[in-house]
Structure 1
């Protein structure tokens, strides 16, 4: 297909496609003349992946280029590629008390060791979790009980997350599913959590009959 057809099929404007070509995010098409190239369904798939990484994952162009380079290797390390593709975890502001943050890091390391989690040494998630634990301490609340329960829930959720990713038939599909699943999955989880909280609150503290009704068929 020509670039105009590629644009129509992928839903990406021609100038944007040319920009991706210049930036190395999209492999060149097969030249049919000095000024014309032919593209195929692999280019459509790659364009859709790039859009997901940009629009959903919010990854920088340079990061995407590096990720795609790894993905195009003869035998890519899917675990490493997924780690590069997943949106970064955002923590809270670092505690003003260094001692509190150090203690929080020690608690995180203990949790990882106890559960036998396989994490890279420089995992940014360690810092994010430590900052949240430190924030609990700063407001005078111990997160110990929540930490263990949340870790249990996170393990179960992660199994389903990666099951969703594994359903993809190729590596590009896995990256696509990981990014979409991480971003939309977080939103879904937050909404379901709020619904469950409302339900548990009604059971625990009671609620007026005229303000609550169970969902059911119309």
Structure 2
């Protein structure tokens, strides 16, 4: 197909297709003339993935290039999942502002909390994992804001996260080809995350409205009591 048809099929403007090609995200088409090229279904699939990563996934061009590179280099199931998981940006929100000694102590306390949690859950994640480091940073920031989890709360959230992870990986079990598996992993890890977050927020909205309705109806007071 010509680039104009590729654009129509994927909903990606011709200018964006050319930009993605220049940035190394999309392989070049088969040259048919000095200024013409033919594109195949693999280009359409890659464009849909790029579009999803940069729009729904919110990834930058640089991050998208890194993720696609991991997809292209996948050789085994474990390698595909690991490469994609590590290639995707880790949500970390470090604000800083504390003194060097105080910051180091906060880092140690949060790191010990994460290590204790992982040991209790028997989760297989090395200390060098970017996700371990990201969680450490997140807990450190919660401590700084005096909004840390109460004992047992973090483990409860971790249990829910484990259930979600099992559902995530179950969606990829039917794929044997590492590249196809890696592409599915990108979708599950990067693109389905906003969907899950929106479901969580909808659930929160539902709970707030139900509690407000219970209060209007003279229901029981909040467990937190008056502030």
After TM superposition, the score normalised by the length of structure 1 is 0.79
The alpha carbon displacement at 1:8 in A equals 0.6
The alpha carbon displacement at 1:135 in A equals 4.4
Contact 1:57 1:86 in 2 (8 A): no
SS in 2 for 1:56: coil
Q: Is 2:96 aligned against 1:88?
A: no
The alpha carbon displacement at 1:65 in A equals 2.1
Q: Is 2:201 aligned against 1:190?
A: yes
Contact 2:26 2:47 in 1 (8 A): yes
Range 77-86 or range 146-155, more displaced: 77-86
Q: Is 2:130 aligned against 1:119?
A: no
For residues 93-152 of structure 1, the C-alpha deviation after alignment (integer angstroms, 9 at most, x for no partner) is: 347333233112111011112222122433333334334434454428662221121112
Structure 2 match to 1:69:
69
Q: From the superposition, tell whether residues 188 and 20 of structure 1 become closer, same or farther in structure 2 (CA, over 3 Å).
A: same
Alignment of 1:6-17 (within 5 A): 6-17=6-17
The alpha carbon displacement at 1:66 in A equals 2.9
Structure 2 match to 1:78:
80
RMSD across aligned positions (CA): 3.0
Structure 2 match to 1:150:
157
Q: Distance in 1 between matches of 2:71 and 2:138?
A: 33
Q: Distance in 2 between matches of 1:131 and 1:149?
A: 19
Contact 1:168 1:177 in 2 (8 A): no
Alignment of 1:1-218 (within 5 A): 1-73=1-73, 75=75, 77-84=79-86, 86-91=88-93, 93-94=95-96, 96=98, 97-98=102-103, 99-138=105-144, 139=146, 143-166=150-173, 170-171=180-181, 172-196=183-207, 199=210, 201=211, 207-209=215-217
Q: Distance in 2 between matches of 1:46 and 1:69?
A: 12
Q: How many residues align?
A: 208
The alpha carbon displacement at 1:154 in A equals 1.6
Range 85-94 or range 115-124, more displaced: 85-94
SS in 1 for 2:197: helix
